Structure 1
Amino acid sequence: MGREAVGTGWQAELEHWLAPFLVRLVHKARQRMCPLYVAGLIGPGDRKSIQPMAERLGLGAYDRLHHFVAAGTWDAAPLLEELTRKADDVLGGDDAVLVVDDTALPKKGNASVGVAPQFASALGKQANCQTLVSLTLARGEVPVMVGLRLFLPDSWTGDPERMRRAGVPAEFLAPRSKPEIAIEEIDRLRAAGLRFGAVLADAGYGLSAPFRQALSARGLRWAVGIPRHQKVYPADVALIFPVAGRGRPRQRHIPDQKSQAAEAILAEAPWRSVSWRRGTKGRLSARFAALRVRIADGPPQRIRDMGAQHMPGEEAWLVGERRAGGEQKYYLSNLSADTPLRALAAAIKARWVCEQAHQQLKEELGLDHFEGRSWTGLHRHALMTMLAYAFLQTQRLMAAKGGKTHVRTTA
């Protein structure tokens, strides 16, 4: 998205686009504040917190804008449902992907909901921050953010009084991992009618067997990153009864082959150069290898003298990537067994579009500028940034198709 203003009528275009959301807000005061808040996020200015936005919008005092996002009594669920419908209208379909990731919002102090020292992927290190689990619908190089939900670390879920002061709703008090939050969000989006062909995620989610299994149980296709030491079995592994040297006959099957680390099983596989799309500097390519395997994520069982080992689970693709700089990455995917290597590579690499969305939501629309401390305020601010982003992406697509457009983000 560009940073310059185009034309003079984009606010009217925004109000028209927001009309279905305003209907769901019902109350006239909220219907007035919502377009102002979204316009404040899109419009000029480096800081997109409430007070400077109110000043730029000519509102004088910022109490009405603050009340709308932080204190007013209204349900965000209908607006999230409408956002899902809008995203599906412009990007939904079997050729779309749903990217699961998380993004960190650096924070000072310890009073803002969910803030704690934790790993911030954007910074590549531990930092005092809030972490939002994100879900992005994307087709080609066009993303629309459709879900942002706060992860609460143990320092919060173990302190009910702290959560009460931050206004955490009762249904979110129980501890939930990031993969569990992601599955709940996927269920919400599917119930609202969102269409996509595959779920993509990095190794932070892909290493979770319950996450992968939950996706498969829902009949979803997926491609996820994994650590290099993830154990897998060859695809032709068979279950046999071990021969008992003494005592009673064995009652449980065991695999006839040992599981191996992903890195080891792909070491001798054929690797070849694959290009998946054209970038700004030419064709994007790397070396890939792929084998059909059985994931070692079945129930744990004692196997001979090796102690408890995970039994073979779902059959899937194990994919390795060797980048030009020498870095190696590994992935699992339950895409069909006849999927070509180039299609596997393209699916895996489609995940990176969410990083562009995170960057634009922060740098251009102020996702990380909210200064309130409450659960409600943070999630409503995040929702407003998603509405602003979806509007701008809709305008971008209209322009690409030759339609009339009035706005790009400004600074």
Structure 2
Amino acid sequence: MNRRSWMAGASVEATLELWASSLREVKARMRPLFTQERVAASAGQFLDGLLGEERRKTGWMRAEAAGDPGPWRQQAILGRGCWDADSLRDIVRDYALETLADPDVVLVLDETGFLKQGKASCGVGRQYTGSAGKITNCQIGVFASYVSRHGHAFIDRALYLPKAWTDDRDRLLAAHVPESVHFATKPALALTMIERAVASNVPFSWVAADSVYGVGDIEMALKRAAKGYVLGVNANHSFRSWGKPLAVAGTAKDIAEALHENAWRRLSAGEGTKGARLHDWAYLDLADLDADDFNAAFAGVWTRGLLIRRNIADGDLAFFSTWCPVGTPLEKLVTVEGHRWAIEDSFETAKNEFGLDHNETRSWHGWHRHVSLVMLAFAMMAIIRNRANTRPSDPPKTMRSARGKTAN
């Protein structure tokens, strides 16, 4: 999806006005991060470069767009400048929520790779990335995307550091990794994002993720926070029912292969570029639990289940552990799982349009600053798209409040 298609719902004149007002607004929001006016101006020019038409968002190209004689000011924003990338992350989150917030939101967790040469870039190493479909030299970033009926945007991110990094103090010092940072698995990074979202009162009801994140502490944290989930699991993951008329026990694969054909239903997980994304689905209720059974601070009965997806063309199976309020229909679980496409689309768009993988710095701070600025650019476009498709007679509250604001 390119940025022009994002804004197809409004006239050229309205789109230009939305673009200008939105750009002023986001620059004003991040202005307090910088103690000096010239640094804030350079950060604004950095954002302009990310939003520009250049395919490569390198320091030289951003500098040329900004009218600078060289890339030094642009590079300083990511390196020598003194500002907090985590504060910008929080600004992006709050900015996105003002327009995209909805109680039925799915928080989608996933990772993407950043191909790199050499050994100096923070977190780089030979590791598997789905972006390349193989083990290669890369960095891995874990992201949380906020997916609602109003649109979707990244609201959190973390750079994964392999043990080869966290066990090498000299390497950490050279990349300016804070002393407080220690080894954390990708699920642990994702769990921190979930906990941060809950602590910040981010409205969401569901979490969806692939099998990297599908079992363990994430499940328990979501149960205690009254959040439903559809989390991928491997074919050999064991399931067992209790208190149900149909006894189920075994691996996900064995359970699926034993199902009668009438257990499957053909449903759409959402609209894709080629129309409805149809698969065959089966769902098994495994157990009903009262909130008191898992020490929750709320009341209600919830259901643990197994959701199975079968490819229509080749019969390939995928498996998901589910948790939802009792009585949740299969169609809802399928829709939640289908929301995972949004983060894949977001990675592609952020890389192709906003230079997510064009970071030239090697430091911990450089990676988080670059990625956070790209997240801001992405959120701005998501909000422009939402506003462009909103009826002129009923402008969103955030648009009304943004009028009259000026950028620094």
Q: TM-score range by the shorter chain?
A: 0.7 to 0.9
Q: Residue 191 of structure 1 corresponds to which residue in structure 2? A: 199
* Structure showing greater Rg: 1
* C-alpha separation in 1, matches of 2:186 and 2:308: 25
Structure 1 residues 93 and 3, CA gap change in structure 2 (3 angstroms): closer
Q: Residue 214 of structure 1 corresponds to which residue in structure 2? A: 221
Deviation at 1:341, TM superposition (A): 1.1
Q: How does 1:224-373 map to 2 (within 5 A)?
A: 224-236=231-243, 259-269=249-259, 270-293=263-286, 316-325=304-313, 326-373=315-362
* C-alpha separation in 1, matches of 2:250 and 2:22: 57
Q: Which amino acid aligns with 2:324?
A: L
Deviation at 1:402, TM superposition (A): 4.1
Deviation at 1:181, TM superposition (A): 0.7
Deviation at 1:211, TM superposition (A): 2.3
Structure 1 residues 233 and 12, CA gap change in structure 2 (3 angstroms): closer
Give the TM-score, by structure 1 length.
0.83
Q: Residue 95 of structure 1 corresponds to which residue in structure 2? A: 104
Structure 1 residues 50 and 318, CA gap change in structure 2 (3 angstroms): same
Deviation at 1:82, TM superposition (A): 1.7
Deviation at 1:77, TM superposition (A): 2.6
Q: Which amino acid aligns with 1:357?
A: S
1:14 to 18, 23, 26: 23
1:135 to 137, 144, 166: 144
Give the TM-score, by structure 2 length.
0.84
SS state of the match for residue 164, structure 1?
helix
Greater CA deviation, 79-88 or 187-196?
A: 187-196
CA-based RMSD of the aligned residues comes to 2.4
SS state of the match for residue 291, structure 1?
strand
| Aligned residues between the structures | 367
Deviation at 1:287, TM superposition (A): 1.0
1:43 aligns with 2:52: yes
Answer yes or no: is the 8 Å Cα contact 1:168–1:374 preserved in 2.
yes
* C-alpha separation in 1, matches of 2:352 and 2:384: 19
Q: Residue 375 of structure 1 corresponds to which residue in structure 2? A: 364
Structure 2 gaps of 5+ residues are 289-301, 400-408
Q: How does 1:119-130 map to 2 (within 5 A)?
A: 119-130=128-139
SS state of the match for residue 180, structure 2?
helix
* C-alpha separation in 1, matches of 2:276 and 2:183: 44
Structure 1 residues 372 and 152, CA gap change in structure 2 (3 angstroms): same
Per-residue CA deviations over 1:18-62 (Å, capped at 9, x if unaligned) read 312213434322321221111100102121021221112211222
Answer yes or no: is the 8 Å Cα contact 2:121–2:362 preserved in 1.
yes
Q: Which amino acid aligns with 1:234?
A: S
* C-alpha separation in 2, matches of 1:379 and 1:101: 17
Q: Which amino acid aligns with 1:95?
A: D
Q: Residue 297 of structure 2 corresponds to which residue in structure 1? A: none
SS state of the match for residue 350, structure 2?
helix
Structure 1 gaps of 5+ residues are 239-256, 296-313, 406-411
Q: Residue 114 of structure 1 corresponds to which residue in structure 2? A: 123
Per-residue CA deviations over 1:121-149 (Å, capped at 9, x if unaligned) read 12211111000001000113822011121
Answer yes or no: is the 8 Å Cα contact 1:290–1:317 preserved in 2.
yes
Structure 1 residues 286 and 102, CA gap change in structure 2 (3 angstroms): same
* C-alpha separation in 2, matches of 1:11 and 1:55: 21
Greater CA deviation, 184-193 or 38-47?
A: 184-193
SS state of the match for residue 139, structure 2?
strand
* C-alpha separation in 2, matches of 1:195 and 1:171: 29
* C-alpha separation in 1, matches of 2:322 and 2:224: 14
